[in-house]
Amino acid sequence: MKNAIVKTRLTRSPRIAAHFIRRGEIVAFPTETVYGLGADISNTSAINRIFAAKGRPIDNPLIAHVSSIEQIKLIARVIPPMAAKLIEAFFPGPLTLILPKHKNVPAAATAGLETIGVRMPRHPVAQELIRECGTPLVAPSANLSGRPSPTTWQAVKIDLYGKIGCILKGDQTEIGLESTVVDCSERAPVILRPGAITLEELRAIVPQMKLAQIGDTKAAKSPGLKYRHYAPHAIVKLIEYPREATTEKNAAYIGLDAPPTHLTFRLKRQCRDTAEYAHELFQFFRACDALQVEIIYCQTVSATGLGLALSDRLRRAANP
């Protein structure tokens, strides 16, 4: 009876949320990137519930969330030297490292892969939850598969109420985009998914760091990247300049420059900088969906710093 839950407990208490995890249920919780949907890494039936609740393809592996370096040793077979440097520099924080997996980790967590994604969130509520549970938690983003990742507990509730045991409520997430994913399981480190820890920051620690290109065998290593992602129901059009927007009929605009003055939009948002754009993007998509907006114009940004991750999410959300 995988989907028998009808009522989802809402709480701000990590202790209460941890009770649900211990009972084998699944719990949404805030992190500094987006909300995650967690299960005890050692509980295969709880892990299966995550896939059922999200409608997630079963070949898409989950990230393990830890609260200490000791926990990494329980789930990773080895920590290669370059991974150790990145851990030292960026944990806790919005970085996921792909490492060879320990034999204790059930195949359900990694979709049968011999590697596991490991991340130590820096959000105090996430840390407290993992500590209370006393075990790493596997957690994808807490959205229905294919929808924008949730940056508020209300967005989690819209997607998953009645399908999960508990929502641990926090504030709107600080960053708004998912973690940077770096493959450290082979000799050459590769960024599989750009995020808030930037290419420039990673290269300062590991100079040979590369970015996986689309169509790359490396990119294919991250099964999640082949699915359309982060997508609102509306058509997403990328424009370099606001004046390229052509229709105002049931349309919306988000970007760094002021919206075009000759058009009136259902929703519009001018962001102060790339960080604010990243912070607001998924919430803006969801607000557009709620108003049944049909077309969303998104201004492109330069692909440096956080702009690389933002450009990646915009491209994935966009219709060709």
| Euclidean distance between CA atoms 178 and 201, whole angstroms | 16
Q: Residue 127, interface with ligand TXA (CB under 6 A)? A: no
Q: Residue 115, interface with ligand TXA (CB under 6 A)? A: yes
In whole angstroms, how close is the CB of 220 to ligand TXA at the nearest point? 10
In whole angstroms, how close is the CB of 2 to ligand TXA at the nearest point? 19
State whether the Cα torsion 255-261-267-271 is positive or negative. Answer: positive
Establish whether the linkage from the previous residue to 121 is cis, with ω within 30° of 0: no
End-to-end CA distance of the chain: 40
In whole angstroms, how close is the CB of 62 to ligand TXA at the nearest point? 6
| Euclidean distance between CA atoms 39 and 109, whole angstroms | 10
**Which one of ligand TXA, Mg ion, none is in contact with 225 (Cβ closer than 5 to 8 A by kind)?**
ligand TXA
Q: Which of residues 232-291 bind ligand TXA (CB under 6 A)?
A: none
| Candidate residues 119, 147, 266, 286; the one interacting with ligand TXA per rule CB under 6 A | 119
Contact call for residues 212 and 192 (beta carbons, < 8 A): yes
Q: Which stretch binds ligand TXA (CB under 6 A): 5-13, 31-39, 249-257, 291-299?
A: 31-39
| Candidate residues 31, 67, 115, 141; the one interacting with Mg ion per rule CB under 5 A | 141
Q: Which of residues 43-72 bind ligand TXA (CB under 6 A)?
A: 60-63
Token couple for 175: 């960053």
Q: Which residue is nearest to ligand TXA (CB)?
A: 224
Q: Residue 222, interface with ligand TXA (CB under 6 A)? A: yes
| Candidate residues 141, 151, 152, 311; the one interacting with ligand TXA per rule CB under 6 A | 141
Sheet holding 27-29, edge to edge: 9-11, 166-168, 27-29, 36-40, 137-138, 63-65, 115-119, 95-100, 180-183, 190-193, 210-211
Could you tell me how many residues of this chain bind ligand TXA (CB under 6 A)?
29
Could you tell me the CA-to-CA distances from 168 to 133, 139, 153, 154, 156 in Å, in that order? Answer: 13, 14, 8, 11, 10
In whole angstroms, how close is the CB of 92 to ligand TXA at the nearest point? 11
In whole angstroms, how close is the CB of 248 to ligand TXA at the nearest point? 34
| Euclidean distance between CA atoms 64 and 71, whole angstroms | 10
DSSP three-state, residue 288: helix
In the complex, the residues that contact ligand TXA under the rule CB under 6 A are 31, 33-34, 36, 60-63, 96, 98, 110, 113, 115-117, 119, 139-141, 178-179, 181, 192-193, 221-225
In the complex, the residues that contact Mg ion under the rule CB under 5 A are 141
